[in-house]
């Protein structure tokens, strides 16, 4: 698909947009509708064409990797596209925040194709694999990052979360506490607090869970899952009004797929049901 064809699609979109802002005579409505449908189909065809083209680039990457070893200078110049990789990493972050684990995996693998060994991409890929119940793969990736950089916050947080999901709670608390204490990457610290709160709930350390989860939602007020688990901690502590307030706050977070978790806990509480100690139960 050429820049010219993209421009043509945009021009047609603009024309239709302008047309719909005017009084549209009944006689022209059918033609306008057909033009919109045609534009949609042209766009779908363009997307399919681009997707196919993108996949063909993977073949180029594989063929390049099969080439004989280059000189150090040439290898560095060709293999590492930090700027291009960072775009895929940010898109991977967005997919993770939206709970789209498979899409996150694809984007982060794209980042690593551009910049092999990029630590944040490897760590976040570990996150996406963990949420797909591929904990052993995830752990291997993140430990590889920590061998190179023991203070990498994203990898340290991921290892803690993976340990927690495997039932190794004590080790999980060690990794997550270290990630919180070292600071640095704000997003890593945010999620380290979140997972540490869940780990404390597993250990029935409710007061400690409340403290770290309050810190999580203070620094990430749109962390719907954080509000859900803070409400759980309040409830288990006997602070039912604060629990309901936290759940209402989490349920009101827009555009978060995890807002439903807070809504569910609120519904269970209001119906007299039993609130489990942990989301891992």
Given a cut of 50, whether residue 15 has pLDDT beyond it is yes
Residue 74 confidence (pLDDT) above 60: no
- 8 A C-beta contact, residue 12 and residue 39: yes
pLDDT for 4 equals 47
Mean pLDDT of all residues in 133-154: 92
Q: 74-83, 97-106, 215-224, 260-269: which range is least confident on average?
A: 74-83
Which residue matches tokens 């609130």?
275
pLDDT of residue 51: 65
What pLDDT does residue 72 have?
A: 47
pLDDT tens for residues 237-269?
A: 999 999 999 999 999 998 888 999 999 999 999
pLDDT tens digits, 29-57: 888 888 888 877 787 777 767 666 666 77
pTM assigned to the model: 0.69
Above 80 in pLDDT, residue 232? yes
Q: Give 148's contacts (C-beta < 8 A, 6+ positions apart).
A: 119
pLDDT of residue 139: 93
CA 226 to chain centre: 15
């Amino acid at each position: 698909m050429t820049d010219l064809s993209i421009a043509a699609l945009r021009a047609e979109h603009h024309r239709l947009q302008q047309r719909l802002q005017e009084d549209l005579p009944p006689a022209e409505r059918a033609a306008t509708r057909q033009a919109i449908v045609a534009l949609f189909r042209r766009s779908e065809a363009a997307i399919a064409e681009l997707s196919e083209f993108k996949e063909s680039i993977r073949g180029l990457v594989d063929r390049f990797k099969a080439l004989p070893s280059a000189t150090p200078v040439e290898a560095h110049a060709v293999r590492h596209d930090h700027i291009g990789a960072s775009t895929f990493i940010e898109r991977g972050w967005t997919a993770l925040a939206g709970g789209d684990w498979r899409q996150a995996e694809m984007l982060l693998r794209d980042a690593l194709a551009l910049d092999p060994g990029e630590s944040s991409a490897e760590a976040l890929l570990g996150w996406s694999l963990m949420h797909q119940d591929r904990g052993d793969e995830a752990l291997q990736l993140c430990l590889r990052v920590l061998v190179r950089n023991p203070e990498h916050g994203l990898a340290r947080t991921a290892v803690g979360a993976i340990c927690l999901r495997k039932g190794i709670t004590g080790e999980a608390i060690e990794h997550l506490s270290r990630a919180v204490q070292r600071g640095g990457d704000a997003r890593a610290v945010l999620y380290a607090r979140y997972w540490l709160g869940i780990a404390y709930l597993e250990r029935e350390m409710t007061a400690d869970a409340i403290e770290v989860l309050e810190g999580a939602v203070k620094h990430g007020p749109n962390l719907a899952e954080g509000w859900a688990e803070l409400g759980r901690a309040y409830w288990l502590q006997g602070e039912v009004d604060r629990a309901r307030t936290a759940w209402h706050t989490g349920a009101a977070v827009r555009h978060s797929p995890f807002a439903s978790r807070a809504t569910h806990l609120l519904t269970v509480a209001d119906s007299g049901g039993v609130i489990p100690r942990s989301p891992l139960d």
